[in-house]
């Protein structure tokens, strides 16, 4: 293989693997920026993946190849609903948000596997037909070199992921709503004094994180795993959480980190066909995202600080 | 209602609500909840074999629960039990395989100690980062879990075995298997680890409630600044708490490696015991006796659930949902205490 082909292959498979992580990590950014820790991202991805696959299998005869897009919408709603449960626990009932997130993960896995058994009478679903595939983008992929590297073999959700990342940055940093959301996460009492409804803002943020988490899971299921079983989502949600932290709770940072993790993941898969990487044991590439996150937190790669009020329920009148 | 009663009421009500929700799900999905729960009971305590299996499942749950609870009492949330358990499992099996001519009284404790040491090391890293650099332990321990998963798989495939998916069985001198307990329970996989688990629970109670070290650890958990002001070394206590917690988890892994399975194999995902340990600790109110009781409940639920599809046609994943809801209700204890308060007010009128 010549260098250009190798680079094109790595870029294309990195972005492919990164896409679900970008969506989910952005979901994490919304939730945590408002002061609600969301360990439940994994569960939201599970419920999204499950909903998308079941929707896809059920309606593929009715909607044909548009099914995958409608399945994304269904998965977003399912993720949003589940995240509201996390919202109720951590905002209204003042639950420990980490514990509630753990419960969400358990619940999503138990519920989806229970329903798979109930609907299909077996442990995993069939493969779906309507799926997202890598395509060459018309016109742009004809540009010499750049077109081959960046615009060939790209799935449509990847483009959406990048657009939504920029949109999230705009919403969070350039709109009044974003300012309120961030203020609620940094200093809820000050925000409350200024007339911001802390509870409502947090509910909206958690709901958005559910929509994006469900979307991430659905994209993963419909582009990478193509079916649903207990092993479909195993840690992608936590990797998205890592991407969010590695990206310092910033939408574009989270996107960058997700792409980097996708890069590490794809290296561990395509690495064996690349000359100097085939001698590196896969384990180093497999643990790279996690070790790098720890190093980032420890301050070796610039300090990463969580929003100040992240993890604490807001109780009116408490100082 | 006095505070003591509320402490007891929250977990009991949570379990009842969880089971009630499970019953509703069974009704909605067209099953008979009475038959479902009967099958669950039979599968957990129906005869001596099932009781043995329940007690065997309870063993690692006690260790995982103690690990989470111990850290919790110092104000730390150790989500990393899963990873600490995996490295402890690996280390104990490795030692169990490496020596062939040691007497059992030396070899077995050595293998268990290796598990404890590996788990302690895996707990030391987040503890150190928390104490020295104020890095949040939750995120670090999650990342350590995945690192442990991949690293142990790598060791099993490339270091301990020759490219195979499982290690050989550990030598007899390092095995926890007990012919006596197996005979007693109709050849279930119950092993001597259950004794160790009970001893560990007593040890944790003693350490936390009756020693200066335990007092300091709890003080740090209540109020770091006050402890610091009182002259305690907060950083040292944080690290120590994570190390001891990790050691408990590591021994839990040794129970799997030397007892239940007798070897270690490639894990594609987590065993779930570490995460269930969070539920066990929370339900048990982070006390030693509570952890033992909660571990019994979760052991029974897990083992009993396997009988549900056979006897009543209910998918065994129902139990996962019930467990999730129990955690959810315990976490939302504010809601339960608030409701209890409302009832009390009404009675007073």
pLDDT in tens, B13-48: 999 999 999 999 999 988 899 999 999 999 999 989
Contacts for A266 with CB less than 8 Å, ≥ 6 apart: A10, A13, A14, A16, A17
Contact A100 B328 (CB under 8 A): yes
**Which residue blocks in B255-332 are alpha helix, DSSP H?**
273-283, 288-305, 308-312, 318-331
Q: How many CB pairs under 8 A join A and B?
A: 138
ipTM: 0.84
Going by pLDDT thresholds of 50, 70 and 90, the confidence category of residue A230 is confident
Residue A218: alpha-carbon gap to chain centroid: 10
Average pLDDT value for chain A = 88
- What's the confidence (pLDDT) of residue A271? 66
- What's the confidence (pLDDT) of residue B88? 97
Which residue, chain included where needed, has tokens 């919202």?
Answer: A87
User: Which tokens in the block code for residue A114?
Assistant: 């229970």
List C-alpha distances in Å: B313 to A123, B35, B53. 14, 9, 21
Residue A6: alpha-carbon gap to chain centroid: 27
Q: Is the pLDDT of residue B2 over 70?
A: no
pLDDT in tens, B193-205: 999 999 999 999 9
pLDDT in tens, A85-142: 999 988 888 888 888 898 999 999 999 999 999 899 888 899 998 888 887 777 777 7
List C-alpha distances in Å: A53 to A73, A210, A215. 12, 17, 12
Chain B hits for A37, Cβ within 8 Å: 138
Q: Which residue of A has its CA nearest to B282?
A: A99
Q: How much of chain B exceeds pLDDT 70, in percent? A: 97
- What's the confidence (pLDDT) of residue A290? 85
Average pLDDT value for chain B = 90
- What's the confidence (pLDDT) of residue A286? 83
Contact A89 B328 (CB under 8 A): yes
Query: Which of B142, B280, B283, B310 to mutate against chain A (most A CBs within 10 Å)?
Result: B142
Q: How much of chain A exceeds pLDDT 90, in percent? A: 47
Which of A109, A114, A283 has the CB atom closest to B154's CB atom?
A283
Chain A hits for B333, Cβ within 8 Å: 95
d(C-alpha B334, C-alpha A97), whole Å:
13
B169 in helix, strand or coil? coil
How many CA atoms are closer than 13 Å to the CA of B199, on its beta-carbon side?
7
- What's the confidence (pLDDT) of residue B349? 54
- Domain range list for chain B: 61-295
**Which residue blocks in B211-287 are alpha helix, DSSP H?**
212-222, 224-229, 234-254, 273-283
Section A159-173 average pLDDT: 95
Chain B hits for A282, Cβ within 8 Å: 154
- What's the confidence (pLDDT) of residue B160? 87
Contacts for B16 with CB less than 8 Å, ≥ 6 apart: none
Please report the domains of chain A, with CATH numbers, ordered by start residue.
3-297 (1.10.3470)
The winner for highest mean pLDDT among A44-58, A258-272, B8-22, B326-340 is: A44-58
Residue B251: alpha-carbon gap to chain centroid: 11
Q: Is the pLDDT of residue B95 over 60?
A: yes
Section B222-238 average pLDDT: 89
For residue B14, count other CB atoms closer than 10 A to its CB. 22
Query: Which of A287, A308, A313 to mutate against chain B (most B CBs within 10 Å)?
Result: A287
Q: Is the pLDDT of residue A319 over 90?
A: no
Phi-psi category of residue B231: left, alpha or beta, with phi > 0 → left and psi -120 to 50 → alpha: left
- What's the confidence (pLDDT) of residue A94? 84
Q: Is the pLDDT of residue A147 over 80?
A: no
């Amino acid at each position: 293989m010549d260098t250009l082909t190798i680079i094109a292959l790595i870029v294309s498979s990195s972005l492919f693997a990164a896409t679900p992580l970008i969506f989910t990590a952005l979901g994490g950014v919304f939730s945590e920026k408002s002061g609600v820790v969301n360990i439940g991202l994994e569960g939201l991805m599970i419920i999204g993946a499950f909903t998308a696959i079941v929707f896809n299998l059920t309606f593929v005869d009715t909607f044909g190849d548009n099914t995958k897009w409608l399945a994304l919408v269904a998965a977003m709603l399912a993720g949003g609903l589940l995240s509201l449960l996390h919202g109720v626990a951590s905002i209204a009932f003042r639950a420990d948000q980490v514990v509630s997130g753990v419960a969400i993960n358990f619940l999503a896995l138990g519920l989806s596997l229970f329903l798979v058994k109930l609907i299909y009478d077996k442990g995993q679903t069939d493969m779906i037909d309507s799926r997202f595939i890598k395509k060459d983008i018309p016109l742009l992929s004809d540009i010499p070199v750049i077109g081959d590297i960046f615009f060939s073999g790209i799935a449509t959700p990847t483009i959406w992921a990048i657009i939504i990342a920029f949109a999230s940055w705009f919403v969070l940093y350039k709109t009044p709503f974003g300012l309120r959301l961030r203020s609620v996460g940094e200093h809820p009492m000050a925000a409350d004094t200024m007339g911001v409804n802390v509870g409502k803002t947090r509910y909206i943020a958690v709901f958005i994180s559910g929509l994006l988490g469900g979307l991430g899971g659905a994209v993963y299921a419909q582009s990478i795993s193509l079916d649903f079983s207990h092993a479909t989502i195993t840690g992608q949600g936590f990797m998205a959480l890592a991407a969010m932290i590695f990206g310092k709770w910033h939408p574009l940072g989270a996107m960058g980190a997700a792409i980097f993790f996708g890069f590490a993941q794809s290296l561990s898969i395509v690495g064996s066909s690349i000359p100097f990487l085939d001698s590196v044991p896969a384990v180093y590439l497999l643990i790279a995202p996690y070790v790098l996150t720890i190093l980032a937190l420890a301050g070796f790669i610039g300090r990463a600080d969580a929003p100040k009020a992240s993890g604490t329920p807001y109780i009116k009148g408490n100082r | 209602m006095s505070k003591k009663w509320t402490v007891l009421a929250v977990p009991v009500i949570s379990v009842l609500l969880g089971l009630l929700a499970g019953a509703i799900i069974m009704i909605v999905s067209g099953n008979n909840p009475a038959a479902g729960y009967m099958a669950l009971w039979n599968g957990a305590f129906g005869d001596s074999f099932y009781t043995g299996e329940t007690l065997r499942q309870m063993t690692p749950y006690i260790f995982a629960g103690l690990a989470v609870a111990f850290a919790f009492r110092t104000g730390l949330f150790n989500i990393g039990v899963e990873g600490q358990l995996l490295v402890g499992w690996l280390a104990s099996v490795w030692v169990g395989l490496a020596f062939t001519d040691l007497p059992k009284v030396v070899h077995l404790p050595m293998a268990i100690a290796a598990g404890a040491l590996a788990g302690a090391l895996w707990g030391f890293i987040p503890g150190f980062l928390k104490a020295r650099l104020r890095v949040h332990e939750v995120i670090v321990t999650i990342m350590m879990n995945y690192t442990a998963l991949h690293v142990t798989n790598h060791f099993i495939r490339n270091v301990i075995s020759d490219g195979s998916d499982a290690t050989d069985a550990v030598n007899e001198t390092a095995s926890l298997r007990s012919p006596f307990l197996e005979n007693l329970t109709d050849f279930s996989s119950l092993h001597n680890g259950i004794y160790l688990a009970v001893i560990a629970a007593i040890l944790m109670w003693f350490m936390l409630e009756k020693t200066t070290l335990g007092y300091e650890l709890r003080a740090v958990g209540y109020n770091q600044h006050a402890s610091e002001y009182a002259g305690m070394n907060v950083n040292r206590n944080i690290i120590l708490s994570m190390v001891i917690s990790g050691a408990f988890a590591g021994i839990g892994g040794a129970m799997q490696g030397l007892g239940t399975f007798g070897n270690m194999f490639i894990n594609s995902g987590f065993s779930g015991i570490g995460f269930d340990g969070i539920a066990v600790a929370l339900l048990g109110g982070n006390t030693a006796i509570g952890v033992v009781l909660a571990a019994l409940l979760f052991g029974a639920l897990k083992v009993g659930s396997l009988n549900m599809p056979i006897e009543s046609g209910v998918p065994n994943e129902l139990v996962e949902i019930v467990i999730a809801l129990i955690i959810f209700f315990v976490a939302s204890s504010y809601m339960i205490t608030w409701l209890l308060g409302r009832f009390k007010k009404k009675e007073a009128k």
